[in-house]
Amino acid sequence: MTRARIKTCDPPPISARTKLWLEAGPRDTPGSGEHVLGRGLAALLAGVEAAGSLTKAAAAADMSYRYAWHLVHQAEQHLGQPMVVARSGGKRGGGSVLSPVGRRLLTVFETLSADVAAFAARRLDELMKQSPEVD
């Protein structure tokens, strides 16, 4: 049996990816809380803020309204506070807006996500420079 030779070349660029979510519950036991906000719900909340409608935000996020409503409702149950407030109809119809709590958590999540991603990228660069090259 002959061994195949592996052609050596420059490796592709390596990047760090992270997964972040917020939980409601005791801080002294990580992972014991209830999931409140992650990437999917954050995108949905940003869509509600932009479009003024959970229906439009769900469509833009390529998810069913039922699933979008479930995500929001579940987060609200875990928080014990509303994240999205429905506006009643009228001439221009109803819609949805973020509650103060929903707006605050979305802002915190977006900022924290950017901070964590920037840290991970910087730390990866440091570690790659520190580790020896492989021949």
Which stretch of DSSP H or E encloses residue 47? helix 39-51
- DSSP structural state of residue 25: S
For residue 85, give both structure tokens.
């407030």
Taking alpha carbons only, the member of 39, 44, 41, 43 closest to residue 54 is 44
Residue 35 has pLDDT above 70, yes or no: yes
Q: Is the pLDDT of residue 59 over 90?
A: yes
pLDDT of residue 118: 97
Q: Report the amino acid identity of residue 73.
A: H
C-beta separation of 18 from 124 below 8 A: no
CATH of 34-83+97-128, one of 3.40.50.1820, 1.20.1630.10, 1.10.10.10, 3.60.15.10: 1.10.10.10
Span 77-95, average pLDDT: 85
Mean per-residue pLDDT for 11-25? Answer: 89
For residue 32, give every residue at least 6 positions away whose Cβ sits within 8 Å of its Cβ, in sequence order, or none.
25, 26
Average pLDDT over residues 29-57: 91
The count of other CB atoms within 10 Å of the CB of residue 125 is 13
Whether the predicted model's global pTM rises above the 0.85 cut = no
Q: What are the residue ranges spanned by the domains of the chain?
A: 34-83+97-128
pLDDT at 111 over 90: yes
pLDDT given at position 90: 63
Using 50, 70 and 90 to split pLDDT, how confident is the model at 76?
A: very high
Question: What was the pLDDT predicted at 1?
Answer: 59
Distance in angstroms (rounded) separating the CA atoms of residues 43 and 65: 14
